Amino acid sequence: MAAFKLSFVVSNDSFSSLNSSFGSVGTNKGICGSLVKLKRIENTHWRFPTSVKKNPYLRLEASRDSLALTQKPEVQKMEKKGGSDDLFDEIKDRFLSFKKSKYLENSKHFQNLAQAQAPKFMVIACADSRVCPSNILGFQPGEAFIVRNVANLVPPLEKGPSETNAALEFAVTSLEVENIFVMGHSCCGGIRALMSMEDEGDSSSFIRNWVVISKNAKISTKASAANLDFDQQCRHCEKESVNRSLVNLLSYPWIEERVSKGVLSIHGGYYDFINCTFEKWTLDYKGSTAGKECTKYAIKDRAIWS
């Protein structure tokens, strides 16, 4: 799988440019006005009904993997038999199993956690039921302060208060986490909604008013990936939106200050649950250019776990 490089510019007042194009890896250059370069997505197979109908291979894959957003999985881990009581009986059994096999066997660790927490990570992930960060990345109790919202978005400072930036403030200024990790994923319904919505729409929609936070990722995707089909554009935007959120993090003075001092790092990630691969990268913050309304960013330490 080809790697990608990101280098983009943000004005102190607003985004000055953040354009994406597909290409191969090059040397990271945090230069004002440079382009975002991402790999071309080839042979991408999506599990949406329209694609399945057109492609026999996709139909076979969808039947086997049962990963479509609109399809009901063939096998449910938690089966509803006689009502909600049966479901909670199963949850009760899981809790008691956790207590016996984990809590009691590590009681000292949990007693220490009862006194205080000191996580190294803050994770911002999607609320999607298929992408639990602790399950995927193995975070143990006390290791990560996790916030989940629709499409794993970070609103910029000027957007106003939300539970996400409230959690950011607590994690950074009180818990003093060392890493902020924004984790995107494949087949994201929130990003698909963003890519599908009209410029003018229902202003009373909570979903619309939330995902519009990443409208610049949509604009960039439409401009640089116009030759791709809609599903591939969504995949492109899923990653582009993560990068936008990384930039939005720096709109908070208490985050920007710590990043510039090197005591806080900002990372992006992308979980492809169709192929079970994970991409991870780090925002390389170059700082403000002296005497210029320009700040330089790039991507470094990109890795693919497969």
Q: Is 202 annotated as a binding residue?
A: no
Annotated binding residue 267: no
Q: How far is CA 143 from CA 27, 175, 194, 249, 266, in A?
A: 33, 12, 32, 21, 16
The Cα–Cα gap between 303 and 109 comes to: 32
- CA dist 76 → 56, 80, 97, 171 (Å): 25, 9, 20, 35
DSSP letters spanning 72-132? --SS-SS--SSSHHHHHHHHHHHHHHHIIIIIGGGHHHHHHHHH----SEEEEEE--TT--
| CA 169, 170, 173, 175 torsion-angle sign | negative
Pairing of strands 295-305, 277-288: antiparallel
Residue 298's alpha-carbon distances to 8, 18, 214, 224, 226, in angstroms, are 6, 11, 19, 18, 24
Single-letter amino acid code for the residue at 148: R
Residue 128 labeled ligand binder: yes
Q: CA 101 → CA 95, 106, 207, 229, distances in Å?
A: 10, 9, 40, 48
Q: List residues forming the annotated binding site.
A: 126, 128, 185, 188
Q: List residues forming the annotated binding site for Zn(2+).
A: 126, 128, 185, 188
